[in-house]
């Protein structure tokens, strides 16, 4: 009888734990590198106000962070300033800022860190006059690395926030 009770308790615990597991969404938004092809007018010229125009007009669409940090350093400020200038020129364009982390740490920790990184970039752009309602954020944590190595150089590339213009 005691053995049956133990089995029932273990079974109940397994069912309860399975019900708490987070499930991945069936579809994820495209990664930064999977953006639609360049927008041009058929003559090889980039159409102003398009995502391609954004990428060509700014210093970079990516800022990087130090280990376990989400503060905006001088290099990131210069990049975000160029993004803010473009966004002020095109006030009808919306953006998403993706927060990323390197592979070290738990999934939950890295999702939270990616969120803080994306929001730090959003807050900086908002402080520069970009309407906060035009900016959405998402954290991918360590789920979408751009460098697959397990060394400092790869980790440094993966600690980032990427700005994507939404069509």
Query: Where do the domains of the chain lie, and which CATH numbers do they carry?
Result: 64-167 (3.30.1330.60)
Q: What is the pLDDT of residue 41?
A: 54
pTM beyond cutoff 0.85? no
Which residues are CB-contacts of 72 (< 8 A; sequence separation ≥ 6)? 63, 80, 120, 121, 124
Residue 37 has pLDDT above 60, yes or no: no
> pLDDT for 58-90, tens place per residue?
999 999 999 999 999 999 999 999 999 999 999
Is residue 129 over pLDDT 70?
yes
Neighbouring CB atoms inside 10 A of 147's CB total 14
Closest C-alpha to 40, from 49, 31, 32: 49
Cβ(88)–Cβ(123) below 8 Å: no
Return the DSSP state at 25: -
């Amino acid at each position: 009888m005691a053995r049956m009770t133990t089995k029932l308790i273990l079974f109940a615990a397994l069912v309860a734990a399975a019900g708490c597991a987070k499930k991945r969404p069936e579809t994820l938004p495209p990664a930064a590198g999977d953006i639609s092809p360049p927008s041009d007018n058929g003559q090889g010229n980039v159409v102003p106000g398009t995502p391609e125009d954004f990428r060509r007009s700014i210093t970079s669409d990516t800022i990087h962070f130090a280990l376990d940090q989400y503060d905006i350093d001088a290099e990131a400020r210069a990049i975000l300033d160029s993004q803010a200038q473009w966004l002020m020129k095109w006030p009808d364009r919306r953006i998403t800022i993706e927060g990323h982390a390197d592979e070290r740490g738990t999934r939950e920790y890295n999702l939270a860190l990616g969120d803080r990184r994306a929001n730090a970039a959003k807050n900086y752009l908002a402080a520069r006059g970009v309407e906060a309602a035009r900016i959405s954020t998402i954290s991918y944590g360590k789920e979408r690395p751009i460098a697959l190595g397990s060394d400092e150089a790869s980790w440094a590339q993966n600690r980032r926030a990427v700005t994507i213009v939404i069509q």
